[in-house]
Structure 1
Amino acid sequence: MGSNNKVKAELLAARYVRNGDKPVAFVDESYRSKEQQRNAAPFYIATAVVIAPEEHEIMRKQLIEVAEAEYWHSTQAFQSEEGKAKFMALIDYVVDGVEPIVIAVQSEVDEKDSNLEEARLDCITALACELTSGAVHEPVELIVVEERHDQASRKRDEYIFSQARKQNLIPRTTAAFQASPSYEKLLWLPDVISYALYRNMAENEPEMYNAVSNRVRTIDVPSGRQVQPQKDA
């Protein structure tokens, strides 16, 4: 682990301590943009898996055992037959679990949103509202999002959460932490689920997502962040 990631991993560990015995949501994405496929409709998927803190360490170890690797990325893994087999093993792992899964999907993206940044804002905002509401599981106060590669994108993700707090869409106490799946293996779970739905929507391969769909709460997200503030936020 690089020195920068080591520092971030230590900061995340400290954040877990501050979060105490409350569950944590782990969030990752998948999408199809016009750049990827010009003649197909773009879409955006944001997936959250909610995990109780007492399960974190054992699940990290189990994920490494199932994937037989210290790092996982579904898109990369799917390029080989061995990777596909490990992906299916991870799908089976998800199926056997009990953790709440929430997916926010924007299937009709504004044609002006060429880089899908507005779709990301819409979906992650809707996802954060759901996660913090306590509607179907204990309210989450800490959301761990896969960190994007460039500083400008990371700043945009900070803005998503700061605006959600400012507009009383989520409680002001909600914390968001951007982390890498290289040191936080629990981010592998939303990555696998997001990619399964991607294969369903983009490639008409429904089997993988169908295996986990009965565990999923889905939010259909229109463009334009049509989300109402929480009354008690």
Structure 2
Amino acid sequence: MLLEVHEVTKQFGGLTAVDTINLNIKKDELIGLIGPNGAGKTTFFNLLTGVYEPTSGYIKLLGEDITGQKPYRITEKGMARTFQNIRLFKDLSVLDNVRVAKIFNTDYGIFDSIFRTKKFYKEEIRVRKEAEELLDRFGLLKKMDLPAHSLPYGEQRKLEIVRALATNPKLLLLDEPAAGMNPQETTELMDLIKKVKNDFDISILLIEHDMKFVMSLCERIAVLDYGKIIALDTPEKIKNNKKVIEAYLGEVEED
């Protein structure tokens, strides 16, 4: 099992934001997490990635307990994420945004950095080459010297995904990746996510409010309401689940 979430709960004082969640993700799965605003979706992501520590329960990645570990440690172990609000280093170049993420995979220490040893230069050349190759695969190489803030919105979203991929994750978490996108950008993003899953051999867990996007893309969907998972099933069964319709979906328009 790639990810095991067992009875995870998070309380903020008297408020239970996430309530005894159980969720398993296998290798190569693409799972959606949906629910009303305030249901606890982003809080759950923050628990997975070490921003918050669970009040109770545990989280395992590739069989290792990562509960309460620091975010950078969890990233090192194979989990990366994007954010609902884009968090690029906007004044850095497109290339440097990706190079920064590669620091987890460099083989030099402080001594090498200070004294600019042969190992340092060798690793820097490798990191740049790998970053350029990633950008090339996603059509951003020609813009690698531009500041990240100069990219169109859709390409900033793409760059954020590329930066996450630069950490070599086994599990990628996407927090509302289609937020703010027009229909054409959303379609392109859907194709991009499929490409990422297939080409990089990783699992993806995504939060999204665009139901057509989720239903078309995801293999399983978990529905969160008041901090609890009320359903976990295929898109077709979720679409017709009475509890889910009552809590969140309403009527889903057919294409």
| TM-score, normalised with respect to structure 2 | 0.29
Higher helix content, 1 or 2? 1
Whichever of the two has the greater Rg, that structure is: 2
The one of the two structures with greater contact order (alpha-carbon pairs below 8 A, sep at least 6) is 1
Higher strand content, 1 or 2? 2
